[in-house]
Amino acid sequence: MLQPLRGITVIDLSRALAGPYCTALLADMGARIIKVESVNGGDTARQWPPFQDGHSLYFESVNRNKSSVCLDFYSAEGREILAGLLADADVLVENFKPGTLEKMGFPASRLEELNPGLVVGSVTGFGNTGPLKDDAGLDQVIQGMSGLMSVTGPGPGSGPGSGPGSAYRVGVPIVDITSGMVCAFGIVSALLGARNGERPGRVSTSLLETALNLSAFQGQKALSLGEAPAPQGNNHPVIAPYGMFATATESINIAVGSEKQWRAFCGLLGMPTAVEDPRFITGADRSANRDQLTELIEVALSAKPASEWVPLISEAGIPCGPIYNYIQALASEQVAALGLVQHSRRRDGSALPLLRGPLTLDGEASEILSSPPLLGEHTAQILMERGMTLDDVTRLEREGRLVCAPASAQVPETMGAQR
């Protein structure tokens, strides 16, 4: 694959998810990611389940294509090493609680002194100003404070815990992941700006800013109309029919997004009179009478199994699809065709299937060139590249100033995409 960020060195001080996902995307595009971790266990995600043979799958899911250097951030030796790494880098990524870099001895003035051209990418919980700027923010908390949970979950009349006032967490850490994406975009923009003669500097985003920007028309409704959107279960908030519908077997998703599709859908389901039914003439009518419309549709869909309806509806030009769990999704024909699942090996030789990054350039998809690193796997290699002797590395490791994983015979290689 093309690697437009080849030659860019990123010092990654981030941990958990938002920052590491940011640097995973940069690594996919060819940047060299040096993940600098603490001697006190490294990235916190290394201790988070689920585990496979002692390896954190949480950590492994977002740390492909990176190197690991393990230092005592608060020792004079560790700070000196980190300062040297930063002086020669293009980018620093961190998602510490505000003030942590300063406590480590790297305030903005120090970073400027070390490397005036350094792009600093930061992900915080609540942003750089305001009463909560110094607070730590986690995906769960921000989902609630951003309004995201208020529009997620069962719709009106769906039983206990449904309707206005209910709140459900999105099933994946969507705010962390999207904040990492936003930070990566900001970093690449700053690097491009430097090429255009604009001085790079601080790039920052926060979980709260990102989460609120995910609100789209729901947030705009609250701003412009003063109305708080309510959860609608598996239905689109304003378009119908657009949601999950029962068939003779499993439920399927159907998204009728235009009048042309609506007419075709009615014909396909054998309910042509619905087109002229005053309850369903316009999109607004259909949304207002969603329950009656859903009942008619599901009566028609009950005539066939999901496996027959999905191709029929799709061939009619109406977006439609099955509802998979992750096992089914990852094993699907389309995922295999895209080569989304690639295979690498851990240092102990065990197989590690991983999802590649989501980008393709000129028809070439991103690749997994190395599996997630062990803690300190590249400490000795990178420090010796910088002129430190093996004796120095050994002494500092003995003194607890750094951690080196046992030298690997070779870098784990991918086994190619799943076909």
Give the active site residues: 236
Question: What's the distance, Cα to Cα, between the start and end of the chain in Å?
Answer: 18
For 9, the enclosing helix (H) or strand (E) is: strand 9-12
Q: What is the bridge-based pairing of β-strands 202-206 and 119-124?
A: parallel
Q: How far is CA 340 from the centre of its chain?
A: 15
Tell which phi-psi region holds residue 147, choosing left (phi > 0), alpha (psi between -120 and 50) or beta: left
Closest by alpha carbon to 251, among 157, 172, 320, 311? 320
Closest by alpha carbon to 82, among 64, 104, 67, 102? 104
Q: What is the bridge-based pairing of β-strands 341-345 and 416-417?
A: antiparallel
State the Cα–Cα distance between residues 305 and 238, nearest whole angstrom: 27
Listed in sequence order, the residues at least 6 apart from 395 whose beta carbon sits closer than 8 Å to its beta carbon are none
> In the Cβ-directed half-sphere of 146, how many Cα atoms lie within 13 Å?
30
Identify whether the C-beta of residue 367 lies closer than 8 Å to the C-beta of residue 337: no
Closest by alpha carbon to 5, among 109, 90, 81? 90
Rounded to 10 degrees, what is the CA torsion of 123, 124, 125, 131? -150
> In the Cβ-directed half-sphere of 225, how many Cα atoms lie within 13 Å?
9
State the Cα–Cα distance between residues 404 and 377, nearest whole angstrom: 6
How many other CB atoms sit within 10 Å of the CB of residue 334? 9
